[in-house]
């Protein structure tokens, strides 16, 4: 399969602004976009992108492929048109080519305290959690921090104080965990920062998530939790 790749290149400091570079490749039908990038880099070792696990669990290779935020390692070439346009995740500063600086996302994730808050003494063995209680974490704990959702969120682009869907999904995970004892603190944190109520329900995050998670639903769940007055 002959495919044309149009890739955005940019090296801040050297290049005045981003530019497009074209490569034509003969691709195997089994290839994913990451295979093509690796093949391109054999000819042009200066092309920069992130990758690690190659099968959709490490979250390194999120990029914008033909207008959609996708993991390069999971996006099959055969399912794409003959011209494939690749640019870095929007909404983050570019370090070089397809590698962006996700510091803001990471800081927001850290802000929501992505860990259990516990006050009670721990038992000798495991704490008990029923399968139903555990089920409430499904659809939340699987996030791979790839940044696809946050990068697709216009509110995140426009509002520099906005937490963004990744951080809010993480926040929701700990609201839902029956083992967590930090409800009061978590509510205070969410109130103190723009996030929950600034989301305009655009739902780009839902379309963007490569793991089929639904950050918007998590945001709505959080809103309900915030409005509910119990034990706080």
Residues that bind other proteins (CB under 8 A): 11-14, 30, 32, 38, 41-42, 45-60, 74, 76, 95-97, 99, 101-102, 106, 110, 113-116, 118, 122, 124-131, 133-134, 137, 141-145, 177, 179
Residue 162, Ramachandran bin (φ over 0: left; ψ between -120 and 50: alpha; else beta): beta
Other beta carbons within 10 Å of 185 = 13
Q: How far is the CB of 158 from other proteins (least distance, A)?
A: 25
Q: How far is the CB of 127 from other proteins (least distance, A)?
A: 6
Q: Which residue number, 144 or 216, has a Cβ lying nearer to other proteins?
A: 144
Q: How far is the CB of 200 from other proteins (least distance, A)?
A: 28
Q: How far is the CB of 216 from other proteins (least distance, A)?
A: 21
Q: Which residue number, 127 or 200, has a Cβ lying nearer to other proteins?
A: 127
Q: Which residue number, 142 or 194, has a Cβ lying nearer to other proteins?
A: 142
Give the angle 6-7-13 at the CA atoms, nearest 5°: 140
Q: Which residue number, 53 or 158, has a Cβ lying nearer to other proteins?
A: 53
Contacts of the segment 183-186: beta carbons below 8 A, 24+ positions apart: 183/231, 183/232, 184/231, 184/232, 185/113, 185/117, 186/112, 186/113, 186/117
């Amino acid at each position: 399969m002959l495919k044309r790749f149009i890739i955005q290149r940019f090296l801040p400091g050297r290049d005045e602004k981003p530019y497009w570079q074209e490569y034509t490749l003969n691709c195997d039908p089994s290839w994913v976009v990451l295979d093509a990038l690796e093949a391109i880099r054999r000819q042009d070792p200066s092309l920069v992108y992130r990758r690690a696990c190659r099968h959709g669990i490490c979250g390194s290779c999120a990029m914008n492929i033909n207008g959609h935020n996708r993991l390069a390692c999971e996006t099959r070439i055969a399912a794409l048109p003959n011209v494939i346009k690749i640019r870095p995740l929007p909404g983050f500063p570019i370090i070089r080519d397809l590698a962006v600086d996700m510091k803001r996302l990471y800081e927001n994730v850290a802000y929501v305290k992505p860990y259990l808050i516990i006050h009670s003494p721990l038992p000798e063995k495991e704490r008990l959690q029923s399968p139903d209680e555990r089920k409430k974490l499904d659809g939340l704990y699987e996030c791979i921090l790839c940044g696809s959702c946050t990068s697709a969120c216009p509110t995140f682009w426009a509002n520099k104080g906005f937490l963004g869907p990744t951080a809010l999904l993480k926040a929701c995970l700990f609201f839902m965990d029956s083992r967590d004892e930090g409800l009061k603190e978590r509510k205070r944190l969410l109130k103190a920062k723009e996030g929950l109520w600034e989301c305009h329900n655009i739902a780009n995050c839902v379309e963007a998530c490569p793991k089929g998670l639904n950050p918007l639903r998590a945001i709505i769940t959080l809103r309900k939790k915030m409005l509910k007055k119990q034990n706080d």
